[in-house]
Amino acid sequence: MTGSGNINTDTPTTPPERGQGATSIWEVARAAGVSHQTVSRVINGKPHVRPETRALVLATIEELGFTPNRAAQALAGGPVRAVTVLTADTAAYGYAAALRGIEEAARAARFTVGISVLEPDAARQPQDVIERLSAGRAAIVIAFEAAGVRALDALPENLPVVGVVERPASGHVPDGRPQVWIDDREAASRATRHLLGLGHRTVHYLSIPSSTQRPSQRMQGWQDALRAAGAPVPPQHPAGWTPRSGYRAARGLVADREVTAILAGNDDLAIGVLRAAREAGRDVPGDLSVIGFDDAPQSAYLNPALTSVRLDFEGLGRAGFGLLHNLLDPNAAAAPPVWDEPELILRESSGPAPR
Amino acid sequence: MTGSGNINTDTPTTPPERGQGATSIWEVARAAGVSHQTVSRVINGKPHVRPETRALVLATIEELGFTPNRAAQALAGGPVRAVTVLTADTAAYGYAAALRGIEEAARAARFTVGISVLEPDAARQPQDVIERLSAGRAAIVIAFEAAGVRALDALPENLPVVGVVERPASGHVPDGRPQVWIDDREAASRATRHLLGLGHRTVHYLSIPSSTQRPSQRMQGWQDALRAAGAPVPPQHPAGWTPRSGYRAARGLVADREVTAILAGNDDLAIGVLRAAREAGRDVPGDLSVIGFDDAPQSAYLNPALTSVRLDFEGLGRAGFGLLHNLLDPNAAAAPPVWDEPELILRESSGPAPR
DNA sequence: GTGAAAGCGCTAACAT
DNA sequence: ATGTTAGCGCTTTCAC
């Protein structure tokens, strides 16, 4: 139940590297026979440096193994090259994928990326949130649920911040902050229509948590399709993000043979549904159809392979970073942020209604 | 195929917060009628401040909404309160879980955590790696494969760094750096013995990538058990980290009816194996037994539920951070790092050998 | 094209 | 117990 001795601490514990240790801009300057200012110019790729001088300095930097001190750069008011990602979760697919996208884009732009997980009850006040930010003081908040939204609200107006959010209600533009989202309402409708087209009388919905009190647009899309088709609109079943929570929420549902189609808020939930279905002796897709959202890497390999709405969270994350980058440096002229449209990937878990 | 208009950029784009914007220690000092030094003392919880003074300063800080500038703290040689996690992957379960553990422990210690993904070919030289580090210049490297090990090697001796690594060969203590690992060799043996005990003639192994040329200890554990039991030792099948790679590696294997037991290097691989088995018409566990490593959250809900060796990567991550924390501040006297021993979780995917 | 001066916000000595 | 004096390593001005 407890830890083991698998630790190796043989290091000649050098004191944490203070002061005279690291080579500074000055040493490079002296070694190259120029002023520290010139070195600074070279580092930042600024103009007004003779090519030869630049080359010399570059060589010296290489030779001395010099690396600019980020803290000093930030303090001296250099360009912000750091983002902190605030998120309530790192395990759920959407969050993790968005984070990957952000990190990837940030790395390409030579930004440092920090990450801080938001506990449900923390980060209500500006200070709580700001304290989490690393040097640069620029942030991207993944706000798919309440905690993220609160953090977004708590961050002071004057900080460069972009939100990666749930699709807001139409015409209901969120607070005046740069934000990106995936338009999943139509995707939810499409998945629902697909099921209806297969002959199912109606479709039941297992929802992931929403960022607001009001129903998410994903749920709205499901209702839209149901209403448009004149199908009954069953109450939605609130669930969490995990297979376990999907399993729990679905147990009751699958016991009812009238239920022949279930739309799960994400693929992990769908895994739980698949499991519950099997335990209840329901055959998927013969007896019951299941569709998820995300198209996680596992989904194609499940038994049965899961039909799912592919959501490009990585692209969304990249776009979120792009937006922030533009905010920090309008001249960067980064490529316009784009990400894939949701796409319904048909696999084995959905099929014609029984009988 | 491409992006959509779901962007909102209505912000009165305030310039990125420079200079006089943020309240500093001086303003707090003036407002409280003390010196900036006293404020500093209060911030850092240093002694030699009268309780009343402390309270007054605290109140002023609260009132002004002051937050210390991390860059300045770092620059002025304050205690390092930042770690950067270097990792080659953030999607695979082990990596992601270790990262979560690190983040959790770091947050509790009020550390900022940075993250940087190592591309296979980068980070060969100290500079490449150091550039990725954020302000604090302390790092934790998740080195489950080659890229991580290279980064670990490239980092200068004098930086505070700890490695979260693959279990090293016994007696083969790695380079003199603080490291933590999970002792999975015995766990692999146990899983193998379990299968052998079920009557399987032998067990086949699908390996995840190793951090070194030599075989991983996990694989070694599998071989140990096979040899000890006098069972034939089939060649191992190298795979990656994903379900897809598990599926590919297993397709050939499952076609062979002689193969009745497969040990997969992680649960994602096992998912791929399960899929390949089903496509090949093999019944699990009636016909074929499958065991994975990790006990990921999905594993209990798969069809069939996956027997797996639970590996406490979160605990390992927490321990890694604990080690680093001690390195940076020996007085911190953090609780000794502990994490759970591997544990074989029996579920539906393993059973008696056929016939 | 290059250098010198000033200061970013903070902490670590030293005073007092 | 509190205040004063120096920097930390860098990027700005502004001179030359």
**CATH number, domain with residue B20:** 1.10.260.40
B198-210 tens-digit pLDDT: 999 999 999 999 8
Does residue B304 fall inside a structural domain? yes
Whether residue A91 and residue B100 make contact (CB cut-off 8 A), yes or no, is yes
Contact A337, A319 (CB under 8 A): yes
Q: Which domain holds residue A106?
A: 82-183+313-328
Compute CA distances B2 → A168, A193, A312, whole Å: 20, 23, 10
Tell me: do A50 and A129 sit in the same domain: no
pLDDT tens figures, A42-60 = 998 888 889 889 998 999 9
* Nearest partner of B271 among B349, B182, B190, B192, judged by Cα: B349
Q: Which of A301, A315, A323 sits opposite B7 (nearest CB)?
A: A323
Domain boundary among B56, B79, B102: B79
Q: Look up tokens 């899983």; give the residue.
A: B191
Mark yes or no for CB contact B134/A70 under 8 Å.
yes
> What number is the average pLDDT over the span A23-40?
90
Which residues in chain B touch residue A300, judged by CB atoms under 8 angstroms apart? 243-244
Q: What is the mean pLDDT of residues B322-326?
A: 92
Q: What is the pLDDT of residues B205-229, one digit of tens each?
A: 999 998 887 889 999 999 999 999 9
pLDDT of res. B329? 84
- From A307-321, A332-346, B11-25, B63-77, the region with the lowest mean pLDDT: B11-25
Residue A342 lies in a domain: no
CATH number reported for the structural domain that contains residue A136 in this entry? 3.40.50.2300
Query: Are B162 and B327 spatial neighbours (Cβ–Cβ below 8 Å)?
Result: yes
Q: How many domains does chain B have?
A: 3
Contact (CB<8Å) A135/B74 = yes
B43 contact to strand D (CB, 7 A limit): no
Is the Cβ pair B303, A242 closer than 8 Å? Answer: no
Q: What pLDDT is recorded for position A130?
A: 86
- Does some domain include residue B207? yes
Of A72, A177, A275, the CB nearest to B11: A177
| Residue A278's pLDDT band (cuts 50, 70, 90) | very high
- Look at A332 and A354; give whichever has higher pLDDT: A354
Give the dihedral of Cα atoms A295, A296, A301, A304; nearest 10 deg. Answer: -50
- Residue nearest the C1' of C8 (CA based): A76
B152 and B89, same structural domain? yes
Cβ neighbours around A231 below 10 Å, total: 17
In a domain, B333, yes or no: no
Check B301 against A69: CB less than 8 A apart.
no
**What is the spatial distance between Cα A312 and Cα A339, in angstroms, rounded to a whole number?**
6
A35 sits within 7 Å of strand D by its CB: no
pLDDT above 80 for B331: no
Q: Give yes or no: residues B40 and B69 share one domain.
A: yes
Place of tokens 């030094």: B37
CA A53 to chain centre: 43
- Bigger pLDDT: B26 vs A136: B26
Q: Is residue A153 part of a domain?
A: yes
Nearest to B11 among A110, A176, A244 (CB): A176
* B70-85 pLDDT per residue, tens: 889 888 888 888 999 9
Q: Given this model, what pLDDT does residue A175 score?
A: 66
* A3:B113 CB<8 A: no
Categorize the per-residue pLDDT at A7 as very low, low, confident or very high, splitting at 50, 70 and 90.
low
Amino acid at the residue B193: R
Tell me the β-bridge partners of A309.
A293, A344
The 8-class DSSP code of residue A336 comes to P
DSSP A13: -
The residues that bridge with B293 in the sheet, in sequence order, are B309
Tell me what pLDDT residue A232 has: 98
Residue A20 is predicted with a pLDDT of 43
Looking at the domain assignment, is residue B324 inside a domain? yes
* Percent of chain B whose pLDDT exceeds 70: 91
Mutate to test the interface with B, among A1, A2, A6 (most CBs of B within 10 A): A6
Residue B128 confidence (pLDDT) above 90: no
Helix or strand (DSSP H, E) at A176: none
pLDDT band, very low/low/confident/very high, at A339 (cuts 50, 70, 90): very high
Same domain membership, residue A306 and residue A286: yes
The pLDDT assigned to A22 comes to 67
3-state SS of chain B? CCCCCCEECCCCCCCCCCHHHCCCHHHHHHHHCCCHHHHHHHHCCCCCCCHHHHHHHHHHHHHHCCCCCHHHHHHCCCCCCEEEEEECCCCCHHHHHHHHHHHHHHHHCCCEEEEEECCCCCCCCHHHHHCCCCCCCCEEEEECCHHHHHHHHHCCCCCCEEEEECCCCCCCCCCCCCEEECCCHHHHHHHHHHHHHCCCCCCEEEECCCCCCCCCHHHHHHHHHHHHCCCCCCCCEECCCCHHHHHHHHHHHHHCCCCCEEEECCHHHHHHHHHHHHHCCCCCCCCCEEEEEECCCCHHHCCCCCEEEECCHHHHHHHHHHHHHHHHCHHHCCCCCCCCCCEEECCCCCCCCCC
Instruction: Give the residue ranges of DSSP H helices in A131-236.
Output: 146-154, 185-197, 217-228
Number of neighbouring beta carbons within 10 Å of residue A310: 17
Whole-angstrom CA distances from B121 to B107, B150, B214 are: 31, 10, 20
Where on strand D do bases come within 7 A of a protein Cβ?
1-5, 7-13
Question: Tell me, what's the pLDDT at A333?
Answer: 62
In a domain, A337, yes or no: no
What is the C-alpha R_g of chain B?
A: 26
Q: What is the mean pLDDT of chain B?
A: 89
Residues A224 and A294 both lie in one domain: yes
Residues B202, B292, single domain; the answer is: yes
Q: What is the pLDDT of residue B18?
A: 34
Question: What is the rounded distance in angstroms from the CA atom of residue A286 to the CA atom of residue A348?
Answer: 10
Residue to test with chain A: of B303, B325, B340, most A Cβ within 10 A: B303
Asked, for residue A206, whether it belongs to a domain, the answer is yes
Among A14, A90, A183, whose Cβ lies nearest the Cβ of B158?
A14
| Tokens linked to B276 | 């390949």
**Rounded Cα gap, residues A122 and B253, in angstroms:** 50
Q: How far is CA A348 from CA A259, A288, B281, in A?
A: 18, 11, 16
Of residues A90, A89, A91, the one with CA closest to residue A243: A91
Of A96, A107, A132, the CB nearest to B117: A107
User: Which of B223, B194, B186 is CA-nearest to residue B207?
Assistant: B223
Per-residue pLDDT at B170: 72
Residue A204, min C-alpha distance to chain B (Å): 20
Tell me, yes or no, whether A246 and A267 share the same domain.
Answer: yes
- The pLDDT, as a whole number, for residue B19 is 37
Note the pLDDT of residue A314. Answer: 97
Q: Which nucleotide is nearest to B76 (CA to C1')?
A: D8
Nucleotide nearest to A79 (CA to C1'): D11
User: Do A197 and A285 have their domain in common?
Assistant: yes
> Does residue A169 share a domain with residue A318?
yes
| List of chain B residues whose C-beta atoms are within 8 Å of the C-beta of residue A130 | 67
What is the rounded distance in angstroms from the CA atom of residue B328 to the CA atom of residue A16?
Answer: 6
Cα distance between residue B269 and residue B271, in whole Å:
5
- Do B154 and B87 sit in the same domain of this protein? yes
Please enumerate in sequence order all residues whose Cβ is within 8 A of that of A51, keeping only pairs 6 or more positions apart, or say none.
Answer: none
Give CA–CA dist A271/A283, Å, rounded. Answer: 14
Q: What is the DSSP string of A199-210?
A: T-S--EEEEPP-
Same domain, B45 and B93: no
Query: Do the Cβ atoms of B287 and B350 come closer than 8 Å?
Result: no
Instruction: Count residue pairs from A and B with Cβ separation < 8 A.
Output: 270
Say yes or no: A169 and A318 in one domain: yes
Q: Mean pLDDT, to the nearest integer, of B281-309?
A: 97
Q: Which residue of A has its CA nearest to B66?
A: A127
Distance CA B92, CA B76 (A): 38
Residue A142 contacts residue A86 (beta carbons within 8 Å): yes
Best to test chain B binding among A2, A8, A158 (most B CBs inside 10 Å):
A8
Whole-angstrom distance, CA of residue A289 vs CA of residue A191: 11
Q: Quick check: B82 and A134 CB within 8 A?
A: yes
Q: How confident is the model at residue A16 (pLDDT cuts 50, 70, 90)?
A: very low
Chain B residue with Cα closest to A68: B131
